[in-house]
Amino acid sequence: MNQKDRDMEEFLNYLLNVNPNFDITLIEKAYKKADQMHEGQLRKSGEAYLIHPIEVAKILADLGMDENTIVAGLLHDAVEDTPYTTKDIRRDFGEEVALLVDGVTKLGSLVYESKEERQAENLRKMFLAMSKDIRVLIIKLADRLHNLRTINYMNDDQIREKCIETLEIYAPLANRLGIYTLKFELEDIALKQLEPTVYYDLVNQVKAKRAERQENINAVITELRESIDELEIKYEITGRTKHFYSIYKKMKYQDKQLDEIFDLTAVRVLVETVQDCYAVLGVVHTLWRPIPGRFKDYIAMPKTNHYQSLHTTVIGSNGEPFEIQIRTYEMHRIAEYGIAAHWKYKEGISRDKDEEKMAWLRQTLEWQKDLNDPREFMETLKVDLFSNQVFVFTPKGDVIELPAGSTPLDFAFKIHSAIGVKCIGAKVNGKMVPIDYRLENGNIVDIVTSSNSKGPSIDWLKIAQSSNARNKIRQWLKKENKTDNVDKGKEMLEKYIRRKGYDYQQILKNQWINKTAKSFNLASADDLYSSISYGGVVLSKAVAVLLSLYQEDKKAEVQKEEKIEKIGETKKKARKVDASGVKVEGVDNLLIRFSKCCNPVPGDDIVGFITKGRGISVHRKDCTNIISLPEDEKQRFIHVEWDKQKENMSYDTEISIVAEDRKGMFSDISRTCDDMDVNITGVQAKSAKDKIVTITLTVAISNTSQIEKVLRQLKSIPGVSDVYRAIT
């Protein structure tokens, strides 16, 4: 048996250990097809590409997914990266697998104007596929998890981008599906990559008191076990440690120290029935004094993702608070695997069982159709889909879930469009409130309607906080011909701008018109145009704000370009890079050059690579281009070392600075480099949203020790959030 066959047998045995009932013949066929199609392809780590789909398939198996999902996991990159088509998959593995793979496949063949547009369109496609089969998202989450597990082989910019996207999009999606086993690992890896110092400091702090905490937990478990035994029920008690990203969020956003977090470790009790849950809760509150306001009943009122459990924080006999969680075995299974825990196609259970759980997805698909601007789509997605929720009650006691900050208007339109359009006010806990009242958890809301109501006005778009309500308000305004005529408003704006002598096509670009809309608390450019035609926003005032934003941005661009030119002019006399600072083992008079992909400097571990006709290229040993070379190419490596007799030479290297895009930032950076006698030989700047700019400096450096000093000094500049050595 060769190595390939042994690898396949090991994989198939892994799956059979997870679920002996798998159709292993079908999975073996998919494995061989993936192996055939990815033959010769390598990951950035230099390992065979097939390892990635294998690991994705293992993650899916561990989640309890069915054979077709695992087959799709094995083939999920085939359509994008190989000649194998969706049609081929349909022929070889059936319609169901083809739909799953197609849903995961990125829109790689299309060209978009911006990264935001590409990201938005990929998510739109994924949501559409999810609406047909939620397994598309589960495969995508497994794919993202394995990519994060091996993310060290990407460059710093790619790592940062992928980790931010994970925290903003994929971890919240895992949370929405209730798959905490994925959510926690995604978040912890992203934190470790984005904030390594914070992460490892947190790990060390937690580790420092682990023995003491474990001793306390063991004492609690022993005492609790003695009392629960008297109930004569089946139960299981374990300790649970809070994952690092969750601790980090509490410390950062609630301004807490580690010893102020009560649920850092917790005791979890699993029982068979809901009745047993409340019986154990009674025992807990008899043994220890509960902390007021720290009891949460997620059984009576489940979380958005249908997580259920009782949480209570009590004071232990040593005076220290600790948390106890109580749930049934079934609740625990759902808490770990979320919607994946319901995947029982093999037992013939209908998919309609999960229909209620996917209501948020159908809502997303409804409102995303009306959002044409990718930035607006992404922001609305983050705010509306992944925001904290508020739970309120109808007068009959039904629970209604809304985004945090919602108003009676959001509640009314969530109940029914007809109630929303006739809404004239609301009663909250029996008292009249205006329609812009902010609802809180536990409010009982009764909508007051009137048949004489004139219906929604443009101002309602400012009051409504949920995309569902805003979408229905827009639809009503258009249907009743009371809009917001977008074309009319745009035409009015264009004429006014032309009369002022400006180029309206330039000024009405998204970046300025969207900012103007937001300044009037409107969600989009179309809302602004409509409001102008409807009279909600005065035309002259809108133009004044628009021109002010346009001129301010243009002025800032000119100032930035002037500063870059000035820095470039003052650094023209920078010292040249001399490759003679490197010695090649047993070779003289050979062309030597430093690679631009990793810019090695003295102190770096280096290696030479014999190029075809261009001499020897010197790389850092940790350069991704070197690491990812095929084995046969590595035969062209040659030993090189720094020439210690030429220690005073200078070498170009790149440093990236992530900073607040403020006035004077370039001057502060230039002054810091001048103070350290470091020459800047090149500057590039890239603005992002939220007034953040990434500045990449090319500087003349003598060695790695000098680089570390420069990084520390630049990091101390006010407004600088991150500084790192760039690798292209």
Mean pLDDT of 673-695: 78
Could you give the dihedral angle defined by the CA atoms of residues 81, 82, 84 and 86, in that order, rounded to the nearest 10 degrees? Answer: 10
Q: Which residues of 583-610 are buried (b: 16+ CB within 10 A; e: fewer)?
A: bbeeeeeeebebbebbbbbbebebbbbe
Tokens found for residue 629: 């070379």
Cα dist from 265 to 203, 215, 310, whole Å: 14, 12, 15
* Chain Cα centroid distance, residue 720: 22
Q: Is the pLDDT of residue 373 over 70?
A: no
Distance set, CA 78 to CA 13, 70, 71, 642 (Å): 23, 14, 12, 44
Most confidently modeled range among 6-15, 453-462, 520-529, 652-661 = 6-15
Region 416-420 average pLDDT? 89
User: What is the tally of helices (H) and strands (E) in the chain?
Assistant: 31, 20
Please give the pLDDT value at position 280. Answer: 92
- What pairing do the DSSP bridges indicate for beta strands 720-725 and 651-660? antiparallel
User: Per-residue pLDDT for 345 more than 50?
Assistant: no
d(CA 439, CA 404) in angstroms, rounded, equals 8
pLDDT band at 54 (very low <50, low <70, confident <90, very high): very high
* pLDDT cut 70: percent of the chain above it: 77
Q: Which residues of 642-680 are buried (b: 16+ CB within 10 A; e: fewer)?
A: beeeeeebbbbbbbbbebebeeebbebbbebbeeeebbb
CB count, 10 Å around CB of 4? Answer: 12
For residue 243, the model assigns a pLDDT of: 79
Give me the amino acid identity at 98.
A
Q: Find which of 97-101, 466-470, 590-594 is predicted with most confidence, using mean pLDDT.
A: 97-101
Higher pLDDT, 69 or 559: 69
Q: Which pLDDT tens digit goes with each residue over 267-283? A: 999 999 999 999 999 99
Report which of residues 118 and 72 the model is more confident about: 72
* 401 vs 728, residue with greater confidence: 401
Q: How far, CA to CA in Å, does 157 sit from each of 600, 628, 656?
A: 18, 18, 9
Which are the contacts of 209, defined by CB distance < 8 A and separation ≥ 6?
A: none
Give the phi and the psi of residue 316 in degrees, each rounded to 5: -75, 175
For position 389, what pLDDT does the model report? 67
How confident is the model over 697-706, as pLDDT tens digits?
888 888 888 8
Pick 563 or 429 by higher pLDDT. 429
- Residue 88 bears catalytic tag: no
Tokens (6 digits) for 21: 């009932």
The one-character DSSP state at 423 is E
Indicate if the pLDDT at residue 233 is higher than 50.
yes
When pLDDT is cut at 50, 70 and 90, the band that residue 119 belongs to is: low
**Predicted pLDDT at 110:** 36
Per-residue pLDDT of 469-508, as tens digits, reads: 887 887 787 666 544 467 777 778 787 777 766 666 666 6
Q: Count the neighbouring beta carbons within 10 Å of the beta carbon of residue 424.
A: 12
Q: Which of 23, 28, 80, 330 is catalytic?
A: 80
Cα–Cα distance measured from residue 546 to residue 497, given in angstroms and rounded to the nearest whole number: 10
List, for residues 160-176, the tens digit of each pLDDT value.
Answer: 988 988 887 788 878 77
Contact 472, 414 (CB under 8 A): no
Residue with the two structure tokens 């035609």: 533
CA distance 518 to 258: 38
pLDDT of the residue at 58: 94
Of the residues 28, 62, 81, 165, only one is catalytic, namely 81
Section 13-35 average pLDDT: 91
- State both tokens at 355: 């229909």
C-alpha angle 365-410-250 in degrees, rounded to nearest 5 = 85
Residues 6+ apart with CB under 8 A from 180: 174, 307, 335, 336, 338
Q: What are phi and psi of 110, to 5 degrees?
A: -95, 155
Nearest to 583 by CA among 514, 644, 662, 533: 644
pLDDT at residue 561 in the model: 58
C-beta of residue 325 within 8 angstroms of C-beta of residue 268: yes
More confident residue, 418 or 173: 418
Per the prediction, the chain carries an average pLDDT of: 78
What are the residues facing 391 on neighbouring strands?
401
Phi and psi at residue 690, in whole multiples of 5°?
60, 30
Q: How many residues does the chain have?
A: 728
Instruction: Give the pLDDT band (50/70/90) at residue 466.
Output: confident
pLDDT for 291 equals 84
Pick from 188-197, 205-214, 552-561: least confident: 552-561
Residue 237 confidence (pLDDT) above 80: yes
Q: Which domains does the chain have, with CATH numbers?
A: 3-153 (1.10.3210.10), 359-479 (3.10.20.30), 486-565 (no CATH), 566-574+649-725 (3.30.70.260), 579-646 (no CATH)
Q: Is the pLDDT of residue 387 over 60?
A: no
Rounded to 10 degrees, what is the CA torsion of 108, 110, 113, 118?
-40
Q: Which whole number is the average pLDDT over 672-686?
A: 80
Token output for 235: 């139960």
Task: Report pLDDT for 648.
Answer: 66
Reduced to 3 states (helix: H, G, I; strand: E, B; else coil), residue 326 is strand
Burial 436-447 (b: 16+ CB within 10 A, else e): ebebeeebebbb
Q: What is the DSSP letter of 296?
A: E
pLDDT in tens, 241-268: 777 888 887 777 666 677 666 666 789 9
Tell me what percent of the residues of the chain surpass a pLDDT of 90. Answer: 17
C-alpha 121/C-alpha 488 separation (Å) is: 28
- Other CB atoms closer than 10 Å to residue 56's CB: what's the count? 26
d(CA 92, CA 216): 57
Q: What burial class does residue 28 get, using C-beta atoms within 10 Å of its C-beta: 0-12 exposed, 13-18 middle, 19+ buried?
A: middle
Query: What pLDDT is recorded for position 114?
Result: 52
- Looking at per-residue pLDDT, the higher value among 386 and 285 belongs to 285
pLDDT at 371 (0 to 100):
46
Residue 406 has pLDDT above 60, yes or no: yes
Cα distances (Å, whole numbers) of residue 716 to 251, 362, 477, 712: 23, 47, 53, 7
Quote the pLDDT of residue 201: 85
- DSSP code of residue 466: S
Q: What is the pLDDT of residue 347?
A: 37
CA-to-CA separations, 421 to 212, 425, 433, 448, 472, in angstroms, rounded: 59, 11, 17, 11, 9
Choose among 60, 135, 50: nearest CA to 99: 135
Report the interhelical angle of 24-37 vs 51-62 (nearest 10°): 150
- Asked if 588 is an active-site residue, the reply is no
H-only helix segments in 373-416 = 374-380, 408-415
Question: Residue 113: its pLDDT value, please?
Answer: 45
Strand, coil or helix: 484: coil
The pLDDT of residue 686 is: 78
Residue 698 host element (H or E): strand 692-701
Confidence of residue 325 (pLDDT cuts 50, 70, 90): very high
pTM of the full structure: 0.49
Angle, helix 3-18 to helix 51-62, in steps of 10 degrees:
10
Residues 601-612, mean pLDDT to the nearest whole number? 83
45-54, 481-490, 514-523, 616-625: range with highest mean pLDDT? 45-54
Question: What is the pLDDT at residue 346?
Answer: 36
d(CA 153, CA 627): 8
User: Is-contact 726 696, C-beta < 8 A?
Assistant: yes
How many Cα atoms sit within 13 Å of 263 on the Cβ side? Answer: 17
Relative to beta strand 616-620, strand 592-594 is parallel
Torsion of CA 595, 600, 606, 609, to 10 degrees: 0
**98 or 382, greater pLDDT:** 98
Q: Is the pLDDT of residue 365 over 60?
A: no
**Cα torsion angle, 249, 255, 258, 262, sign:** negative
